[in-house]
Amino acid sequence: MTLADKRILIIGGTSGFGLEIAKQTVLEKADVTIVGRHADRVNAAVEQLKNINTTVHGLKLDATKEADLAQLFDGQVRFDHVVSMLGGAMGGGFLDNSLTAIRSAIEAKFFDNLRLAQVASQHLNQHGSLIFTSGSGGSPATASGAIVGNHDINLMVEGLAVEMAPNYRVNAVSPTWTPTGLWRNMSTDDKQQQEKAFAEGVPLRRVSKPDEVASGYLYLMQNDFMTGQVLHIDGGVDL
């Protein structure tokens, strides 16, 4: 299915996977709206994308806040595909993290996306889809709250796919560690060490590229017979 003239909303579309998804959908001549929490990043991303195609819009708001989310979907705005990059990362197990830290990770991974689903599901065009971002790799002992949140997203996708069928589809992409804007606060040396350590434990012996992961989101938009699925683009990290 072509994405030409389709209305696509990317929450977290100013860097990393989100920005790459925006680039690829703009190349497909879609009408793309990106959302971010920082005005400077939103503006920079929009300017970059408009060099490819002018059908790009940017909104500065925090989709984890109920009031901002209501503003985003205010009125009769409808989209063909809504992509969510909501959620973060965390390190440490269940015993060396506070309950507050673990709750925060699960809140960001699962409940923020659930709130988005409840609102966005009312603003989809017929046969539209929701696409969430889960995660692969790591272990409960080294990324406790984040792992719980990822599993929660996967279960939510299965439930929503049934609840929203047959008129709408719901899927997720599950990438693994990739050097993107999520790690912008990590030093160059630490990032290089992390990349080397990760590559040694993956069958393909390298980290993924943002465009490789982004292509999975486009596949889920374009394949009308995909729903309730979690597409793992992770180099076989769990093998």
Residue 239 lies in a domain: no
Number of domains in the chain: 1
| Residue pair 139/147 in contact by the 8 Å Cβ criterion | yes
Residue 1 lies in a domain: no
Write down the residue that tokens 């809140």 correspond to: 107
Residue 49 lies in a domain: yes
Mean of pLDDT values over 119-126 = 97
Q: Report CA-CA distances (Å) from 178 to 66, 127, 168.
A: 29, 31, 30
- pLDDT value, residue 182: 62
Residue 239 tokens read as 């093998």
Residue 2 lies in a domain: no
pLDDT, one tens digit per residue, over 209-238 is: 999 999 999 999 999 999 999 999 999 988
Give the angle 71-156-58 at the CA atoms, nearest 5°. 30
Rounded to whole angstroms, the Cα distance separating 85 from 83 reads: 7
| Residue pair 82/124 in contact by the 8 Å Cβ criterion | yes
Beta pairing class for 56-60 and 31-36: parallel
- Residue 119, domain CATH: 3.40.50.720
| Residue pair 8/30 in contact by the 8 Å Cβ criterion | yes
pLDDT, one tens digit per residue, over 135-150 is: 998 889 999 999 999 9
- The percent of residues above 70 in pLDDT, for the chain, comes to 97
Give the angle 72-73-76 at the CA atoms, nearest 5°. 140
How many DSSP H helices and E strands does the chain contain?
Answer: 8, 7
Rounded to whole angstroms, the Cα distance separating 176 from 207 reads: 8
Rounded to whole angstroms, the Cα distance separating 147 from 90 reads: 9
Residue 237 lies in a domain: no
Mean of pLDDT values over 42-50 = 96
At 145, the amino acid letter reads G
Residue 238 lies in a domain: no
Residue 50 lies in a domain: yes
Give SS3 for 230: strand
Question: 196 falls in which pLDDT band (50, 70, 90)?
Answer: confident
pLDDT, one tens digit per residue, over 160-193 is: 999 999 999 999 999 998 777 666 666 777 777 8
Rounded to whole angstroms, the Cα distance separating 173 from 217 reads: 7
Is 67 exposed, middle or buried (CB count within 10 Å of its CB: 0-12, 13-18, 19+)?
exposed
Domain holding 132, by residue range, is 7-232
Does residue 1 carry a pLDDT above 70?
yes
Rounded to whole angstroms, the Cα distance separating 89 from 85 reads: 12
